[in-house]
Structure 1
Amino acid sequence: MSSRINIEKVTTNVKKVLMIAAENDAIKGAKVGGMADVIRDLPPALAKVDVYVDVAMPNYGFIAKDNNADFIAKVVVKFGANLETIDVYKIPAPYLTASDSQAKNSQAQNGQLTSSVYLFDHHFFNSPDNQVYTEGCADRPFAEDATKFALFNLAVAQAYVDGVIKPVDTLHMHDWHAGMLVMLRAFAPEYAALKGIPCVFSIHNLALQGIRPIRDDVSSFTAWFPELSRLLTQEQKAQICDPRYPHCINPMKMGIELSDKVHLVSPTYANEVLMPSDHQNGFFGGEGLEGSLQDKHHRGDIVGILNGCVYDESNSKSNTKVERIKAIKPVTTKDISQVFEGAQQAVIKWLGKSEWIKSVDQIALSRLQILTTKQSKPSTECDFLMTSVGRLTDQKVLLLRQPHANSGSSSSANSSSTLQALLDNLKQLKPKAVFILLGSGDKQIAAEFQKVGANNDNFVFLNGYDDALSSTLYQFGELFMMPSSFEPCGISQLLAMKHGQVCIAHGVGGLRDTIADKQNGWLFEGNNLQHQSEQLLLVMKNALSLHNDKAAEYLSMRQSASEVRFTWHHAAKQYLSKLYGE
């Protein structure tokens, strides 16, 4: 393929960055996890420190149409045995306001201060239900998605050297989905010009790595890049192969080994990933890639920068922006009634999207109707809400699934769980309290929580996601549960704290960096899964006892939580100085 552009640095007092990512919550339908929040919130913060971000992402079959995108080019690449044509569309960055993109100097006149989203369209990138990721088979994990992102990465590289994408100062790749672009930059002769552009690789979740075979599968390295696979030296192959499965390539490892800097989304997580994981004892660290991360760390190329959160702002008399800190008030029964009503509306919407009524939704709706009726009677109304919002994965809820230490059984299928013990303690200390858990994901976890929901009148399990409902839960809960086994940064605890809800969280990753134990929340630890679960229950008892016995002190903790600020502006300044070479 031809390389028509003369790749050079942008020669202005501003910087241009191209981010390559699978998700972007600035665009409807393009969010799955926390990465999407970062791609939504970080670029506008960077614009305020003169870093302007373009984003490249797959179109997924619907984004260009839904956003009236402009078609700008076709890109042709050799992928496997075929020539594939990818259409490229462009839309203005949806996250920049007119004032953000306003010219700051004379260079603005040639468009160097504008930001865009480049959308790459090919049938490999589409799914029948317009989903970002494909649910693969257990015996071929990541097969469809790895092929999709291999072609996407190749198309982005070609679009850059063809001049379809404007020159930038830095390439910034996010998670394994962009790892093969780092590899192409390092090893593919036709993209050697990309080596002149500094490359940053951000890790949002090290547990997902996109591992695929080297050969003997239609979704394999040699199937995607047959010519390149023959050119690689043994040393180069070692840089892209998984250390545990030498017959497999690892896109996450590619990004770590072959980028200039590796960014982790909190300082504590940046230290945790340098140590080997010990899953049996509840520690999630380097997930097999600690060797590569340690090498990078020894060279000074590992950077931990905490993600930010968006806070309400208003203009002061000096026209500078200040955060509005509101006095936190006790949650009322009227507030709780609003939560129940919002939850019912969310479940009804979910029911309307399906031809069949799912038992989990029927159980939740029935429970909510009973609770709503009780709210009309002062003697039975709910007076305390404990909440949790998050994906149903073992990362988030493994501890809740652990057999309770006093159950007398080592089998989680035949014993009481930590979740059940938690609900029992809640019933004892707060007889009229309710725990609402909102989340979707793993079907087995959902089935377990469905049974718990059917057997406990103080637990509502909502198997789905709804933006309005999640906001209501953050706003009107008084105790937020976040027992993640690992948490690279976490956004749920920041959203809960912003609204004055204190959190109980495992003292790992970004949770440790954002929650001050016994000041604006509670942290628990433990040297194995059982110990961690025991400490979770103990801390919850202490929190509920404080609310019962010292309500003013508990309210003061809620106020402290609401006043904490982890701003994207602060994070953006660190990106500029530590990642983009201020």
Structure 2
Amino acid sequence: MHVLMVAAENDALPNAKVGGVADVLRDCPNALAEQGLTVDVVIPDYGFSTLERTQLGTVEVPFAGRIHVVQVWQLHVGQQQVRQIVLSHSLFSQHNGAVYCNDNGDKPFSTDATKFALFNASVCEALLQGVIGRPDVLHLHDWHSACVAVLLKFDRRFVSFSSLRTVYTVHNIALQGIRPFKGDESSLEAWFPSLSYNGELLCDPRYPHCFNPMRSAINLADKVHLVSPTYASEVLLPSEPENGFFGGEGLEHDLQNAQRNNKVVGILNGCEYNMHIEPSTNQLADLYSEIERALFVWIAKEAQLQSSFYIAHQRLLQFINQPVTGPLVTSVGRLTDQKVLLLRQPFKSQQVLDELCEMLSEQQGRMIILGSGDARLEHIMTAAMARNSNLLFLKGYGHNIGELLYEIGDLFLMPSSFEPCGISQMLAMRAGQPCLVHQVGGLNDTISHLENGFSFSGDSLQTQSQALISCFEAALTMKSKQPKQWAEIVKNAAAARFTWSQIAKDYIGKLYI
């Protein structure tokens, strides 16, 4: 069986990772290849010119009223179990190698939508012209690849591919790539002016004049894959953000229809367990050195010193000069409301995060949060760091810092308001660090309360916030006063396994056949 995966990210290639989907595209294809499948992965060429490569061909792509020349390359990286393919065009690499471009709020996804629409059209042309061999299964990931399903269904030039088995994976239903049908240079009809399509299948349910790529792929694919069993159930229900529940985000009716047709499948993502990290005699010192190195790199990027970096460096010096013996609480992830909505909820005269820091301070503990994202949330976290002398917020991402935080933290904090699967909790558990999580999505499917970690729930933002605080207090109390029970949870966290080898078998049996 030959599978072609189409995505925006792939951590098998350098600097092609932003979120967890990149880990999936790095690891899952190898697991499928070990099951005897032939697997190709294709993403845009964001600037991989320094990698060894072989040109597979050139395709001419009708797009936005003219013909674009796109080159197709196979990159030679690592073990060659999986064929790594990239498509090269100036539109894909115009942002200095960045995977995504942050547009202004009045034109969300505009630049990226056009870029990925051309990429999708190029994939279809490469299939039609035989530059990429015809697969048995076409596996599309998130909204960035959804136009492939649209073109294969509605463009008469691709009629020979209309029966090709298509699988669509929803990694994060909150990001749907919505753009107008027409009247904008970044719109469906501007990209594909001669396309005859069924607007009822492609339109956004809330904004009928807009094209919704994710909804389109959900309606057109043979199978719709959600990345955890719990998440597959949650998205069938409407979101109630005022009550702290995030479900189908407007697509619940389409997913309910897909469920009735036996199209919806929930399969958890996996984690690699053959990673070997050399032990260090002083990992805390290593961590502080990595943090200082990263801070200097971030500071040097701009002429003016940002307050977040200044306060973080002062706090780092404090941690170094005033060592404490209490627990180290860690958190690693993109700074979005998905991750920190509960931490910024009001509590007493401040916020939930302040209350957690106060409880942690009573045990001489510290908290280190690594992540960047929403500018407003970055400001909130910086202000919280200024208020709490035991909180270090690092506005950025450093791979080595993250790995060390997983390794040496005592408790990993992941109170996401929704979490399709989550990889951070698996990486922390792999290193023997118990996690404290909100009982949603993949967190519910990987963390068992008081067995291999700690979890909480609630039916409103207020009850969720209170439950988070209570759970955090209980975890700290157990660590200090019930060391045997704590050690058992640590042991169980380290022993938990979510292997790609088993998940690959589920892909074959539930998605591909």
Name the TM tier (shorter chain).
over 0.9
TM-score (norm 2): 0.97
* Conservation of the 8 A alpha-carbon contact between 2:109 and 2:179: yes
Tell me by how many angstroms 1:126 deviates.
Answer: 2.3
* Conservation of the 8 A alpha-carbon contact between 2:371 and 2:396: yes
Tell me how far apart the structure 1 counterparts of residues 283 and 305 of structure 2 sit (CA, whole Å): 29
Compared CA separation, residues 422 and 58, structure 1 to 2 (3 A): same
Compared CA separation, residues 579 and 96, structure 1 to 2 (3 A): farther
Counting only pairs closer than 5 Å after superposition, residues 216-231 of structure 1 correspond to structure 2 as 216-228=183-195, 231=196
Q: How many matched pairs? A: 513
Tell me by how many angstroms 1:453 deviates.
Answer: 0.9
Counting only pairs closer than 5 Å after superposition, residues 400-415 of structure 1 correspond to structure 2 as 400-404=343-347, 406-407=348-349
Does structure 1 residue 86 correspond to structure 2 residue 29? no
Residue 23 of structure 2 aligns with which residue? 37
Aligned equivalent of 1:351, options 296, 299, 311: 299
Does structure 1 residue 96 correspond to structure 2 residue 28? no
Tell me how far apart the structure 1 counterparts of residues 283 and 145 of structure 2 sit (CA, whole Å): 44
Residue 411 of structure 1 aligns with which residue? none
Tell me how far apart the structure 2 counterparts of residues 388 and 129 of structure 1 sit (CA, whole Å): 29
Does structure 1 residue 16 correspond to structure 2 residue 15? no
SS of 2:67's equivalent? strand
* Conservation of the 8 A alpha-carbon contact between 2:57 and 2:72: yes
Give the counterpart letter for 1:524 in structure 2.
Answer: F
Tell me by how many angstroms 1:174 deviates.
Answer: 0.2
Tell me how far apart the structure 1 counterparts of residues 210 and 79 of structure 2 sit (CA, whole Å): 41
Give the counterpart letter for 2:459 in structure 1.
Answer: N
Residue 137 of structure 2 aligns with which residue? 170
SS of 1:227's equivalent? coil
Does structure 1 residue 372 correspond to structure 2 residue 306? no
* Conservation of the 8 A alpha-carbon contact between 1:127 and 1:134: no
Aligned equivalent of 1:69, options 38, 53, 58: 53
Cα deviation, 1:43-62, whole Å, max 9, x if unaligned, reads 111111112210111102x1
Compared CA separation, residues 337 and 313, structure 1 to 2 (3 A): closer
Tell me how far apart the structure 2 counterparts of residues 401 and 307 of structure 1 sit (CA, whole Å): 28
Compared CA separation, residues 579 and 403, structure 1 to 2 (3 A): same
Tell me how far apart the structure 1 counterparts of residues 69 and 124 of structure 2 sit (CA, whole Å): 14
Does structure 1 residue 546 correspond to structure 2 residue 478? yes
Cα deviation, 1:474-527, whole Å, max 9, x if unaligned, reads 000010100100000000000001111111100000000000111111110011
Counting only pairs closer than 5 Å after superposition, residues 407-426 of structure 1 correspond to structure 2 as 407=349, 416-426=350-360
Tell me by how many angstroms 1:95 deviates.
Answer: 5.3
Does structure 1 residue 246 correspond to structure 2 residue 233? no
Tell me how far apart the structure 1 counterparts of residues 79 and 228 of structure 2 sit (CA, whole Å): 25
Aligned equivalent of 2:339, options 396, 405, 411: 396
Tell me by how many angstroms 1:402 deviates.
Answer: 0.8
* Conservation of the 8 A alpha-carbon contact between 1:240 and 1:251: yes
* Displacement over 4 Å in runs of 4+: none
SS of 2:262's equivalent? coil
Tell me how far apart the structure 2 counterparts of residues 496 and 117 of structure 1 sit (CA, whole Å): 29
Tell me by how many angstroms 1:312 deviates.
Answer: 2.5
Residue 35 of structure 2 aligns with which residue? 49
* Conservation of the 8 A alpha-carbon contact between 1:90 and 1:116: yes
Does structure 1 residue 158 correspond to structure 2 residue 125? yes
Tell me how far apart the structure 1 counterparts of residues 325 and 55 of structure 2 sit (CA, whole Å): 54
Superposition CA RMSD, Å: 1.8
Give the counterpart letter for 2:339 in structure 1.
Answer: K
Aligned equivalent of 2:44, options 58, 79, 82: 58
Give the counterpart letter for 1:482 in structure 2.
Answer: M
TM-score (norm 1): 0.86
Counting only pairs closer than 5 Å after superposition, residues 253-268 of structure 1 correspond to structure 2 as 253-268=215-230
* Conservation of the 8 A alpha-carbon contact between 2:72 and 2:88: yes
Aligned equivalent of 2:273, options 287, 300, 311: 311
Tell me how far apart the structure 2 counterparts of residues 519 and 343 of structure 1 sit (CA, whole Å): 32
* Conservation of the 8 A alpha-carbon contact between 1:371 and 1:382: no
Tell me how far apart the structure 1 counterparts of residues 345 and 483 of structure 2 sit (CA, whole Å): 31
Identify which range, 549-558 or 19-28, moves more after superposition.
549-558
Does structure 1 residue 527 correspond to structure 2 residue 475? no
Tell me how far apart the structure 1 counterparts of residues 302 and 52 of structure 2 sit (CA, whole Å): 29
Tell me by how many angstroms 1:118 deviates.
Answer: 1.9
Tell me by how many angstroms 1:313 deviates.
Answer: 7.2
Identify which range, 119-128 or 297-306, moves more after superposition.
119-128
Give the counterpart letter for 2:12 in structure 1.
Answer: A
SS of 2:272's equivalent? coil
Does structure 1 residue 508 correspond to structure 2 residue 494? no
Tell me how far apart the structure 1 counterparts of residues 157 and 204 of structure 2 sit (CA, whole Å): 25
Tell me how far apart the structure 2 counterparts of residues 188 and 476 of structure 1 sit (CA, whole Å): 54
Identify which range, 488-497 or 195-204, moves more after superposition.
195-204
Give the counterpart letter for 1:86 in structure 2.
Answer: V
Tell me how far apart the structure 2 counterparts of residues 574 and 523 of structure 1 sit (CA, whole Å): 27
Residue 269 of structure 1 aligns with which residue? 231
SS of 2:22's equivalent? helix
Tell me how far apart the structure 2 counterparts of residues 284 and 390 of structure 1 sit (CA, whole Å): 19
Tell me by how many angstroms 1:552 deviates.
Answer: 2.1
Tell me how far apart the structure 2 counterparts of residues 532 and 128 of structure 1 sit (CA, whole Å): 40
* Conservation of the 8 A alpha-carbon contact between 2:335 and 2:371: yes
State the identity %: 44
Tell me by how many angstroms 1:66 deviates.
Answer: 2.1
SS of 1:123's equivalent? coil
- Gap regions ≥5 residues in structure 2: none
* Conservation of the 8 A alpha-carbon contact between 1:41 and 1:95: no
Tell me how far apart the structure 2 counterparts of residues 363 and 535 of structure 1 sit (CA, whole Å): 30
* Conservation of the 8 A alpha-carbon contact between 2:283 and 2:404: no
Tell me by how many angstroms 1:370 deviates.
Answer: 1.4
Counting only pairs closer than 5 Å after superposition, residues 171-210 of structure 1 correspond to structure 2 as 171-210=138-177
Does structure 1 residue 340 correspond to structure 2 residue 283? no
Tell me how far apart the structure 2 counterparts of residues 433 and 336 of structure 1 sit (CA, whole Å): 14
* Conservation of the 8 A alpha-carbon contact between 2:42 and 2:85: yes
Bigger radius of gyration: 1
Tell me how far apart the structure 1 counterparts of residues 216 and 41 of structure 2 sit (CA, whole Å): 20
Tell me by how many angstroms 1:196 deviates.
Answer: 2.8
Counting only pairs closer than 5 Å after superposition, residues 374-523 of structure 1 correspond to structure 2 as 374-375=322-323, 381-404=324-347, 406-407=348-349, 416-428=350-362, 430=363, 432-523=364-455
SS of 2:429's equivalent? helix
